[in-house]
């Protein structure tokens, strides 16, 4: 890991020849874009639907049909009779 404050690192980059500076800036942009992508993936994983019932929101479905389907799919759950 690089030592120094952001200002010190910026000064070091400014001292580089133009060609190297462009390469350094491209590399930094790559690292930042990868960080944003990882953060976005974590956010998307957290937005999982907690109920299958939400898939049918707004539809007119008989509750008994939903309960029967749930019993057949989730046999390990205890269901109200």
Q: Where along the chain do its domains lie? A: 6-46, 50-81
The pLDDT tens digits of the residues spanning 18-58 come to: 999 999 889 888 988 888 888 888 777 666 656 666 676 67
Contact at 8 Å (CB) between 70 and 52?
yes
Q: What is the pLDDT of residue 43?
A: 76
- Whether the CA torsion 53, 57, 63, 66 is positive or negative: it is negative
Task: Kindly report the pTM of this predicted structure.
Answer: 0.41
- Taking each continuous run of H as one helix and of E as one strand, the counts in the chain are 3, 0
Tokens for 38? 């990882």
């Amino acid at each position: 890991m690089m030592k120094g404050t952001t200002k010190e690192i910026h000064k070091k980059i400014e001292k580089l020849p133009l060609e190297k500076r462009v390469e350094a800036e491209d590399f930094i942009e790559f690292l930042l874009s990868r960080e944003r992508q990882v953060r976005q993936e974590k956010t998307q994983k957290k937005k999982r639907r907690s109920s299958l019932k939400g898939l049918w929101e707004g539809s007119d479905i008989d509750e008994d049909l939903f309960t029967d389907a749930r019993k057949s799919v989730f046999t390990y759950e205890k269901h109200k009779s």
